[in-house]
Structure 1
């Protein structure tokens, strides 16, 4: 029996025709698989492209939102800066207004003090004694009884009255007597004599003679009362200077202080070892 010779490389058991058909079939299947894979790849690439577009769109939106946030932050910072500037302006304006008010109050005080510059304030004269004698005669008796070297000076009085004008029945002490001198120099001479004598009396009753000031100046001067007593007790020759400064002699030198804080600072600096137990007391 003659056997047909098979070509080299053929699948065993197949004729050339069957082999070709098989090859065509395999190629067709391979092409279909490739086409299918290509379609799948195209779809995947399309999905990737769409996802990329979405990412790009989202990124663009994020950039836009970030830009908007930055803009809002910048606007907020500008508003905060404007508010800080405004607050600073208001603070400065308030400080300037406060300074102007203080200056105005000081000017008014100085004006009142200038009006009262020639006045003497006599404290401790019983109510009603002036009804029989009159204010001027009482004043002359005070001068003659306490300062005999001044009684023939010929002081001229412009005005004399109680202050306040209206009597308060609930007031435990007599109203002060205000004497307006014709000359400021006469007032100063009487005050100097009163300081030197220290114990001034009227018919045996202790009285005080002082300068007459505005309510504000009087209040400021009263702040020194307790310290004044301490200094006087230590024989430090204290004096209240206009408008409300205190002076005293220490270690042969006259010291002047405008307020208690300055006096306290001086005491701490000058007497560091005596602050707890000695020196000038503060109230």
Structure 2
């Protein structure tokens, strides 16, 4: 009887091991989460996120903000791009309500190519203004993708401090030093 009690106690105190079905379930869950993230990113692929526009802008004027920004900062693109806005809205206040930072604006445009050209021009110019005030333009991604990019940014900072470069952007596994593929990351 004592032996049975000891065996029961031992079983109660043992942590559950990852069984093959549990590992398969974890892989399945991870795959589903990745699919959901990819769906959100695909859904948001034509969105532009604008940060720093003051709150005093009226809601009906938000649709015209992108045209004003492009006209003010990238006049050469105005002629080339057909700047139609499908949707425009401000993000809800999720952060600290005591902060006075303006809510971000999400603008959905019909073509992803136009979004990429605007963002490329913004990166090249580095300082984008709206009515004289500095603002930021960026792509709108899912929360998970943004978190992954933040983590990769740290890796790229370390790599650049060691004069390392990645062959591809975020998907790269092959890392080279001074563009020579035979060098290792740990040198």
- Paired with 1:127 and 1:249, the residues of 2 have a C-alpha distance of 46
Paired residues of 1:167 and 1:175 also in contact (CA < 8 A) = no
- Paired with 1:237 and 1:140, the residues of 2 have a C-alpha distance of 36
Paired residues of 1:112 and 1:213 also in contact (CA < 8 A) = yes
Structure-2-length-normalised TM-score: 0.72
- Structure 1 residues 222 and 161: alpha-carbon distance in aligned structure 2, compared to 1, 3 A threshold: same
Alignment of 1:119-134 (within 5 A): 119-128=47-56, 130-131=57-58, 134=61
**Could you tell me which of 56, 59, 66 is aligned with 1:139?**
66
Q: 1:267 matched to which residue of 2?
A: 185
The structure number with the bigger radius of gyration is 1
Tell me the SS of whatever aligns to 1:208.
Answer: strand
Paired residues of 1:221 and 1:245 also in contact (CA < 8 A) = no
Q: Whose RCO is larger (CA < 8 A, sep 6+)?
A: 2
Structure 1 runs (4+) deviating above 4 angstroms are 165-168, 226-238, 244-250
Structure-1-length-normalised TM-score: 0.50
Note the residue ranges of structure 1 that are not aligned, 5 or more in a row.
Answer: 1-86, 256-265, 273-283
Shift of 1:227: 4.8
Shift of 1:111: 0.5
CA RMSD of aligned residues (A): 3.6
- Paired with 2:160 and 2:130, the residues of 1 have a C-alpha distance of 23
Paired residues of 2:165 and 2:179 also in contact (CA < 8 A) = no
Q: 1:177 matched to which residue of 2?
A: 105
Aligned length: 169
Tell me the SS of whatever aligns to 1:151.
Answer: helix
